Amino acid sequence: MVALPPRVVVAAPSSGSGKTTVATGLLGALAGRGTAVAPFKVGPDYVDPGYHALAAGRPGRNLDPVLVDPATLPGLVVHGARDAELAVVEGVMGLFDGRIGRDPDPGGAGSAGSAALADGAGSAGFAALADGAGSAGFAALADGSTAHVARLLEAPVVLVVDARGQSRSVAALLAGFRGFDPGLFLGGVILNRVGSHRHEEVLRSACAEVGLPVLGVLPRHAELAVPSRHLGLVTAAEHGRAARAAVDAMAGLVAEHVDLDAVTALARSAPPTPATSWDPDTAVGEPVPGAPVVAVAGGAAFTFGYPEHAELLAAGGARVVTVDPAHDEALPAGTVGLVLPGGFPEEHAAALSANAPLREAVHAFAASGAPVHAECGGLLYLARSLDGAPMCGVLDADAAMGPRLALGYRTATAVADSPLAAAGETVTGHEFHRTVTTPRAGTAPAWRWDGDEPEGFVAGGVHASYLHTHPAGRPAGVARWLRHVAGARR
């Protein structure tokens, strides 16, 4: 057991308040002055962690108590913050927004967090908290919210408030957010998009009325806009040098207008909560022999993945090699397993289609019965076509942009045995796309989702679906897949 590192959660009343600018800016500004800082993102978001990684110089990781056992999250923080001096956690949506449509866990989803918060653990801020474990506010929390994660980590919260169009009313907003859950420690506020010096004075006075310290004041700015598309921001890998410039601009803005010493002090006020570091070796179990080569698609088209996946594959005995389907014309030498993660292949369909040698290699590889794990964007790449552009033709399906965004957590049950899951196994995953496949499912579907709807394709060694899962949430699935890889190698 070790202690969780100093940590702070960057939250907001709602989406669009400036969390990503502040969190990325904090990471970059702290790293710029020599602080080793570890980045985390609440929820299943794949885009923000890419910008976090650029800012911090280490992988951005996700903390999702819906996809991963909540009791595992503190260990994931310890693992991701190895050798770091503090952790910055960016929230998702509004502070109390999370999974809907199911009963929440009023006890903190099995963590010791809510019980431990009440004792104060040596911090004036935490010592002032009410017990709150049975409060109506916490009982109403949705699973997977930023508040849920903050409680699991016993972390102080900084609220980023978009101050446009309000002055003293910000006091009422802050009072409401602070009082809604007595077991959550709201440690300060960063005011964003402040219009003038006079506006700042009034806002500071309002914050003083409710006793919340102002940790920073960011003026209105337009130069930090990052290009977006149908699923959110353009990924850092696609944005290239412009992404680096955007991260540097965020870091400069925060360094100039936020009290970094105060934020650091707040992070250090978090109690030294004991936790066992998540260990991929332990999680995946006995490694397979022979170091089989597993190719994982990367490059600009396939950026939706969790770093823990590659860590589990490597711990399970595989030699993990990246392949870029837009440029590489062959699978890595000796490949016996292929992972095609999500991303934006719809934005790179022309380049993927033009690389006929690799498309043909993937088709032949899948036809051989070798294990292929494709999620979302990987599913599109395996289809016959994507928006009319020829793809690998592994699946008897065509993909195209659809009329609306499909987004949300899903409970799925495996329909057929596959290298990834045994028939009847139930998992929790996440759907995030604006494409559709025709048909939606193959003769042997991958899953039956909420409402018993079939989805995805199982054929030979191929498992292809729109469902994203977090490998740290089901490492047994990675171990199962690797056993099939080892079998294919033999």
Residues carrying an active site annotation: 376
Amino acid identity of residue 271, one-letter, is P
Query: Looking at the DSSP assignment, which residues form a beta bridge with residue 304?
Result: 342
Residue 319 to residue 483: CA distance in whole angstroms: 14
Among 41, 469, 66, 471, CA closest to 232: 41
Query: Looking at the DSSP assignment, which residues form a beta bridge with residue 2?
Result: 275
Residue 189 to residue 76: CA distance in whole angstroms: 27
Among 296, 456, 459, CA closest to 367: 459
Tokens of 29: 């500004």
Between strands 86-90 and 157-162, the pairing is unpaired
Q: What are phi and psi of 403, to 5 degrees?
A: -80, -15
Q: Are 467 and 456 spatial neighbours (Cβ–Cβ below 8 Å)?
A: yes
Q: Are 73 and 44 spatial neighbours (Cβ–Cβ below 8 Å)?
A: no
Residue 154 to residue 275: CA distance in whole angstroms: 12
Among 441, 339, 351, CA closest to 387: 351
| Alpha-carbon distances, residue 460 vs 41, 198, 437, 444, 464 (angstroms) | 36, 67, 20, 10, 11
Residue 332 to residue 318: CA distance in whole angstroms: 13
Residue 33 to residue 328: CA distance in whole angstroms: 38
Tokens 């409680």 correspond to what residue?
151
Among 74, 69, 98, 70, CA closest to 87: 74
Q: Are 192 and 161 spatial neighbours (Cβ–Cβ below 8 Å)?
A: yes
Residue 333 to residue 338: CA distance in whole angstroms: 12
